[in-house]
Amino acid sequence: MFFVVLFAAIAAFLALRLYSVLGKRTGHEQALPQPSEERVGAPPMPRTIDMPADARETGPRPIEPGAEDGLRALIAADPTFDVGQFVEGAKSAYRMILEAFWKGDRDTLQWLVEDDVRDAFFEVIDTREAEGHVVENRLVSIERAAISEINVENKVARITMRFDADVAMVTRDANGNVVSGSMSDAVETHDIWVFSRDLTGSDPNWKLSDTDEA
């Protein structure tokens, strides 16, 4: 399944410290804060990314009550799993994947998403490039990120995340003319992303395996 706004610069710190690699448009618009200065010369992202051990989610509870049984099953299979670390990693991956999709960065998407999602993303990127369109979207803020479901089956863990975010969306043609959107207004988006990992494998990273609208 594929969501509307496709996974603004993400800080180099988040890219380097990420542990788990890890839209429905409502029509509600709001004024944007002034964009911060764009990063310059950011180092390349490593293929295995770690988060600090003391990272913890603050604010709203990062896991919904319905996911607690699945959490117990996951911890039984992988005692090192930490909810706070995972949610922070998922939020960083959400930014990374969206930015890579918008830029048409196939190399980054290749190692962040599973094959089915990769193929769907690449198809959209190919169409966009064939039409001469350039996307200048910007993730303004993630208002909420929470685990809504956890499943462990045949040693494969699948964690469903809900992201509520504000995104500025602009598409330009080959001449730089605005085809759609506006950078002066944000659109509310509501995404359901599923991240998967083989618990028996040596790769500690989670990959995006499914997407949908909330």
State the residue range of the domain holding 198.
12-29+62-213
pLDDT score, position 30: 42
The verdict on residue 41 lying in a domain is no
Instruction: Report CA Rg, the chain.
Output: 17
State both tokens at 75.
């911890």
Contact 25, 188 (CB under 8 A): yes
The verdict on residue 84 lying in a domain is yes
- Residue from 110, 99, 105, 123 nearest 5 by CA: 99
* 168 phi/psi in degrees, rounded to 5: -90, 130
Examine the pLDDT at 85 and tell me if it is beyond 90. Answer: yes
- Residue from 130, 166, 163, 122 nearest 146 by CA: 163
Examine the pLDDT at 7 and tell me if it is beyond 50. Answer: no
The verdict on residue 151 lying in a domain is yes
Q: What is the pLDDT confidence band of residue 183, given thresholds at 50, 70 and 90?
A: confident
The verdict on residue 149 lying in a domain is yes
The verdict on residue 4 lying in a domain is no
The distance from CA 209 to its chain's CA centroid, rounded to whole angstroms, is 11
Structural domains in the chain (count)? 1
Examine the pLDDT at 175 and tell me if it is beyond 70. Answer: yes
The verdict on residue 56 lying in a domain is no
pLDDT score, position 136: 95
- Mean confidence (pLDDT) of the chain: 80
pLDDT score, position 21: 38
The verdict on residue 113 lying in a domain is yes
Write out pLDDT tens, residues 19-78: 333 433 333 334 434 443 333 333 333 333 343 344 344 456 899 999 999 999 999 999
Examine the pLDDT at 109 and tell me if it is beyond 90. Answer: yes
- Kindly state the average pLDDT of the residues 157-166: 98
CA–CA gap between residue 25 and residue 186 (Å, rounded): 10
Q: What is the pLDDT confidence band of residue 128, given thresholds at 50, 70 and 90?
A: very high
The verdict on residue 132 lying in a domain is yes
**CATH for 197:** 3.10.450.240
Q: What is the pLDDT confidence band of residue 1, given thresholds at 50, 70 and 90?
A: very low
pLDDT score, position 34: 40
- Kindly state the average pLDDT of the residues 145-151: 98
